[in-house]
Amino acid sequence: MINTLFESWPVLWPALAAIGVILAVVPFLGLYMTFVERKIAAYVQDRVGPNRVGPFGLFQAIADGIKIFLKEQLIPDHVFTALYFLAPAFSLITAMFALVVMPFGPVATDYKDGFRFVVAPGIDIGILMMLAISSLSAYGIIIGGWASNNKYSIYGAIRSCAQFISYEIPLGLSILGVIAITGSLNIEKIVEAQSGSLLDWNVFWQPVAMLVFFTAALAETNRLPFDLPECEQELVGGFHTEYSGIKFVLYFLAEYTHIVTVSFLTALLFLGGWHFPGLPGPSGASTPILLLGLGVLLAKVALVVLVIILLRWSLPRFRFDQLMGLAWKGLIPLGLVNLVGVAIVLSLGLPKHLLIATVILPVLAAYYSAAKFNASMATTDAMRQGLSPQGAVSYE
């Protein structure tokens, strides 16, 4: 046993080091994303935001963390205790577990020994596993809602369940095109395929796929405008109504870990990952080049995070039927037609950049939906004026 450990040490230590990095950085990142979000929220609303603890309020996040650790552990009498404790932990575990195959820095596809910016390099079902694991976090929410034994919590959990099921489909559909052309589920290989010029980034030939992916992923993170599982006006706090103290923080961390995951996935799958025009790839590169690649990737991720945070303060929340309608009547057809386009291009052997023409899809969809809406409004108007056009049903 000990011998095996020693023999496998050269393979083992890079993985352990990467796990250490993720375990150290992700909670810290989650903590500081709350600070960044509060600051940006304040600026958007012409306020100042937290500025009392430390320079520019930088230690506010740490103060919040200390406060919440020292809080009383309140456990209501009416909860199912075992599930009540399990749910937040499950939520965070699944959110963190999805990071196992996610490269957080440049990774060469030759997979030499030594430290790499990924826990498990070269997993051939990488992206599939990531989607599978991160969608398990629905369990954390549903178990939490059930264990709370509270109608608002269970309503939030049910909504969350429906939302997850609906948005898993466009999420998968949108990256199928990328996977089909790359010919691999391996995330590093998908990024590798985007090396070269700027136009090789997936966003430039799969813009609709990126739009669908980003929207669906935003819905998976349960954030505004898709935060129906926890919308305060209707459900108090939704699934985390009964949670407080450190258990609430676990949910919170899971949500922010999800945002980090989604941002990384958007950057890796569509924005070229660690590639930037003029920057050499990671295979056989020196340490400064690798760090530069890391910086490029983190900058892209930061950009996506910024957009996610800003979206929260620009868009109102969806109604539940609108939420479902967007997934089933908007994103899924878009994703499917986009996939058909990819299939045609692949089977005829056409250059993949022809797929930029898919931007016409949302425009067509908008034209159809506008025409349909206007026709229905015209019918309503006519009925109200007693003109009763052909086929219209009278109110009487």
Partner 1 sequence: MSDPKKNDPQKNEAQMNKPSAKKSVKWGEAPKMSILDALYLPAIASGLATAVRHAVSGKATTRQYPEAEPEIPPNYRGVHRLNRDEAGRVKCVACYMCQTACPANCIEIIAAPAPKDDPHWKDRDKFPATFTIDELRCIYCGMCEEACPVDAIELTSIYDLTGMTREEMIFDKEKLLSVFDETVKSGQDPVRTNRGNLGPAAELSPTAKDAPPPPGRGKSG
Of 43, 56, 69, 111, the one binding partner 1 (CB under 8 A) is 43
Q: How far is the CB of 260 from partner 1 (least distance, A)?
A: 21
Stretch that binds partner 1, among 98-106, 233-241, 249-257, 381-389 (CB under 8 A): 381-389
Of 385, 390, 391, 393, the one binding partner 1 (CB under 8 A) is 385
Q: Which is nearer to partner 1, 250 or 327 (CB)?
A: 327
The answer to the question of residue 280 lying near partner 1 (CB under 8 A) is no
Q: How far is the CB of 331 from partner 1 (least distance, A)?
A: 12
The answer to the question of residue 113 lying near partner 1 (CB under 8 A) is no
Stretch that binds partner 1, among 75-83, 115-123, 130-138, 363-371 (CB under 8 A): 363-371
Q: How far is the CB of 380 from partner 1 (least distance, A)?
A: 7
| Percent helix / strand / coil, the chain, rounded to 5 | 70, 0, 30
Separation CA 371–CA 135 (nearest Å)? 36
Q: Which residue is listed with tokens 């600051």?
A: 39
Q: How far is the CB of 370 from partner 1 (least distance, A)?
A: 4
Q: How far is the CB of 314 from partner 1 (least distance, A)?
A: 3
Residue 232, judged by CB atoms within 10 A of its CB (0-12, 13-18, 19+), counts as exposed
Helix (H, G, I), strand (E, B) or coil at 269: helix
Of 16, 165, 310, 357, the one binding partner 1 (CB under 8 A) is 310
Which residues, numbered 315-344, are part of the site for partner 1 (CB under 8 A)? 315
Q: Phi then psi for 76, rounded to 5 degrees?
A: -65, 155
Do residues 79 and 244 lie in contact, with contact meaning Cβ atoms separated by under 8 Å?
A: no
The answer to the question of residue 357 lying near partner 1 (CB under 8 A) is no
Do residues 254 and 345 lie in contact, with contact meaning Cβ atoms separated by under 8 Å?
A: no
* Buried b / exposed e along 276-290 (16+ C-beta atoms within 10 A): beebebbeebeeebb
Stretch that binds partner 1, among 35-43, 74-82, 117-125, 197-205 (CB under 8 A): 35-43
The beta-carbon contacts of 356-363 under 8 Å, at least 24 apart in sequence, are 356/204, 356/205, 356/207, 358/206, 358/207, 358/208, 358/209, 359/207, 359/208, 361/208, 361/334, 361/337, 362/208, 362/211, 362/334
The answer to the question of residue 384 lying near partner 1 (CB under 8 A) is yes
Q: Which residues are near partner 1 by CB under 8 A?
A: 40, 42-48, 307, 310-311, 313-315, 362-363, 365-367, 369-370, 373-374, 377, 380-381, 384-386, 396
